[in-house]
Structure 1
């Protein structure tokens, strides 16, 4: 009996300086979640901006996973005020992912955004961001305590309320699952066409989908890739993403036998 081909899942990379050289990097937890949680074949996408042939890339992948990152989207992309001094940016990643998001959605390629990827998707589609949630006076603390061990930083921080009849609610039966929280920025204005999928107790948007898209589209502010196989809620997200990638792969194979 022939084995089912694994869908190729493109994973966004950040540029990190290691000594005198720039490296294109993605965290191992995202790679493992794409492989083990979604059942895909991970393919790292370098942040080459307009030097990257998006059309050729999209011809080669069955899903797109946008990772979290220490960097933030540069605010000029959403007409925001200048960033606070010391804010880490990655303009090459912005130049890569923002057009890639729009092109992937147009193609109907399944798309999952996590943390920075969630923020990128909102910006790419016309939304804006709060750059420092803790300074707005509107929200609870959403940053992690970096002095704590990773298991504590990525541990349950607060519940989210899943929207009735939404995509996330269709994946998981419990309507207020606990999630981790490791972010400084968040949605200020939701982009047109996006649907709220989950909110924190303070009203902050924690997940959204794009119901009118040709393909499966979901973005979450928390980190479901963290020990994904140990968390049924997180696993449900990657299972659904993987299923969408496999369906896209099968449809692509029929179009191009």
Structure 2
């Protein structure tokens, strides 16, 4: 029996009075769409050898979270809005570095997008949920999950980019739930997608690491969203050793085969 790839999924630190390591189940439900299995990676990098953990994995997924990255991580003197999760910040940065050193693919979602952006020297802004924006990116705080994740908008995929090649389309509609986003882009990053109001929605390293970050939530109701399924299938190909471009072209070909009913 062929061995399935193993993905490490970063945990968040929850329940302050009795700290626990946790991952929202919706992210774990996306793993089978990669054709992979998963293990949880605790945000306790002072207690574990991150490089040793990464060496045993085929890739990493950095998930969304209720917490924000501490502003000092991206050279901001403003206090910013919490809650914060410093152990996750530190663990994510160490995981990203180790993945680059060991050529392990990484997929970042929402907070994971922001972690990858900060790791590659971008800065963040914290105003994308303001109600007076032409395009809001997060519903008002406190809404039930179903209402919060009902917010959708279109993103334009960069022409000739990895996402455009994989999706086979110039734009897609995504589920949006983020207060933060990139303020100043680093020259170490390439933009893969933007929203109609110019907010950067996806990036990858300019140096070619097999890393992609998306600001939206492809894990939300993934079974109902063909674009999300394609994104996770694309990442599954990276877990099996494909390059960014090889996986994108294969994802596009497989989609074309499904549409035409070919074998």
TM normalised by structure 2 equals: 0.86
User: Equivalences for 1:1-257 in 2 at 5 Å?
Assistant: 3-17=1-15, 20-34=17-31, 36-84=32-80, 87-134=82-129, 140-145=135-140, 149-155=144-150, 157-214=152-209, 216-247=210-241
User: Could you say what secondary structure the match of 1:92 adopts?
Assistant: helix
Note the residue ranges of structure 1 that are not aligned, 5 or more in a row: 249-257
**What CA distance in whole angstroms lies between the structure 2 residues aligned with 1:151 and 1:218?**
26
Tell me, in whole angstroms, the C-alpha distance in 2 between the residues paired with 1:94 and 1:130: 17
**Residue pair 1:156, 1:178 contacting (<8 A) in 2 also:** no
CA separation of 1:131/1:83 partners in 2, compared to 1, >3 Å: closer, same or farther?
farther
Q: CA RMSD in A?
A: 2.0
Q: Which has the higher contact order (CA 8 A, sep 6+)?
A: 1
Contact 1:158–1:180, Cα closer than 8 Å, also in 2: yes
- The alpha-carbon deviation at position 58 of structure 1 amounts to 1.1
1: CA distance, partners of 2:151 / 2:131: 23
Which moves more between the two structures, 65-74 or 168-177? 168-177
Return 5+ residue gaps in structure 2 as ranges. Answer: 243-263
Residues matched between the structures, number: 242
The C-alpha deviation readout for 1:136-189, integer Å capped at 9, x for no partner, is: 987621112456553443235110000011010011122121111101000011
Aligned residue number for residue 252 of structure 1 = none
CA contact (8 A) 1:161 1:176 kept: yes
Mapped contact 1:73–1:89 kept (Cα < 8 A): yes
Distance 2:129 2:109 in 1: 20
Normalising to structure 1: TM-score of the pair?
0.88
